[in-house]
Amino acid sequence: MLNITEFNSLSPREQAALVLEQGRYLHHIIRGWCKIDLYWFHNYYVEVWFLYDLKTIGLVRALTNKASLDPYLETIKLRVKT
């Protein structure tokens, strides 16, 4: 299991490959020219920024604080079983 420091030391290509293969997709938001997917990866959250025009990944970012999740809280809907 990679901790966040080890994850951040990887190249963006390696980060993207790991998250897309092993991460758990949670939600996405649209920001201007990007679709930003949110993943749960090991014990932290990671964003993968997809550029619409180029259809490539522009950024992979491990989130280091809870405030980074605020944009997702506006639109996410969770089904909770009781």
The DSSP output letter for 34 is E
How crowded is residue 35: how many other Cβ atoms within 10 Å of its Cβ?
Answer: 13
What's the pTM? 0.86
Q: What is the CB-side half-sphere exposure of residue 63 using CA atoms within 13 A?
A: 23
CA–CA–CA angle 74, 75, 79 (5° rounding): 115
> Residue 22 belongs to what H/E stretch?
helix 12-22
Q: Say how far apart CA 11 and CA 32 lie, in whole Å.
A: 25
Domains contained in the chain, CATH given: 4-73 (3.30.67)
Q: What is the pLDDT of residues 33-51, one digit of tens each?
A: 889 999 999 999 999 999 9
pLDDT of residue 40: 94
